[in-house]
Structure 1
Amino acid sequence: MRGEPSCPKCGGRVRAPGLFADTWQCAAHGAVHPVQPVVPPSVGALAVVVERTRVPVWMPWPLPVGWLFSGVACAGDDRSGGRATAVACTGPGPLGGPGELVLVAEEPGVGLGAHYAGIPGPDPGPRLRTGRPPEAKVLAAGRPTPLWHVADAPADRAVFAGEAMGLWLWAVVWPELCGPLLYEDMVLTDLRDAGSEIELVPCGALSPRLMAPDG
């Protein structure tokens, strides 16, 4: 996704609005909200996304011990504003070894969360196991938010999804053994409400998961 806008649903190239279409176009998916080029994590890059987006920018806050902010992606353009955001964090897994977490907030139909989850999209829909109690609960902007396992995700990751503030909230963790991160009542903050505290976010190296989520 680095270097030029891409499709949120497949990561492929998109064509800018022009004479024959007033929206960004993917050859496979038609009109899409383009994912803007991913840049190395910094407070400045995070602030740009926070300023432009129409959807939450979720981050665990405070971050778990030893965890760092490792990148942000946004789907949308200057005209439409951000319609989906993805925040990556990296740190020690609860069972040892490194772990990675990507939190996605998006409007229905965008498809960014499904892309990181490694499943057909655009929305979790019937893959949510809502017929039983939620496997995880987070506190999103002060509101208890249930999350369910998303079926059929690749074996290398654990995928959860639910609704927060009327939008999809996805939580994708690598490896799958890091799933217990979401069992511990994680507190999520919408960084649009963080104010000057955003300057305290500790930054690490860019997560490769934002660049190649299916790898």
Structure 2
Amino acid sequence: MIALERMPAVQYLAIGVRCLLVMVFLSAVVGKVAPRGGFGLFVASIRDMRLLPVGLARPTALLVLAAESSVCVLLASPAAGVASIGLGLATLLLIGLTAAVVLVNRRADAVSCRCFGASSSPLGARHVFRNAFLTVLGAAGVIASRGDGPMDADGVVVAVCAGALLALLIVKLDIFVDLFQTSPRPSPGRREGR
């Protein structure tokens, strides 16, 4: 087996994943607290999931926000060991979030995705895929963060840019899917609007 320490590419993977996850979790935190009433909508979405007793919706929302904020702080740390803890926490949090979305989908409940703030898109298979993908990246980041050695500045810039671009696509997933989703067309012979 090849030692990770001898594979400099894994260090770039770890940097890219850290950048991606910090942007995703930061977007999630800001989306839940910045808009007026955003936190209340997030609490309501947890309540609508019906996974916990109603009285635990607000404490759970606060716990999720604290965990997401902690992930951002840990991943932004220049200390590799601290960032590795952030990658591990992000992966565990994503496992829990993915499980929650799967459970909601199995019941076929129409619960709005409040992952990144206000959204009218109901939780669905795309959210399971997104979270599972992020979970795999988080786990890969944990493994890749074990790499050590000198890094080239150009490689770091490419890794950060790739992570940022992928984070943007992930955060705006609902918009992209809705944009390219085909809308039903009226059948021939039927006129709309009458």
TM-score grouping bracket, smaller chain normalisation: under 0.3
Q: Hey, which of these two has a bigger chunk of helix by percent?
A: 2
Task: Output the TM-score relative to the length of structure 1.
Answer: 0.24
Task: Output the TM-score relative to the length of structure 2.
Answer: 0.26
Q: Which has the larger radius of gyration?
A: 2
Q: Hey, which of these two has a bigger chunk of strand by percent?
A: 1
* Higher RCO, Cα 8 Å, sep 6+: 2
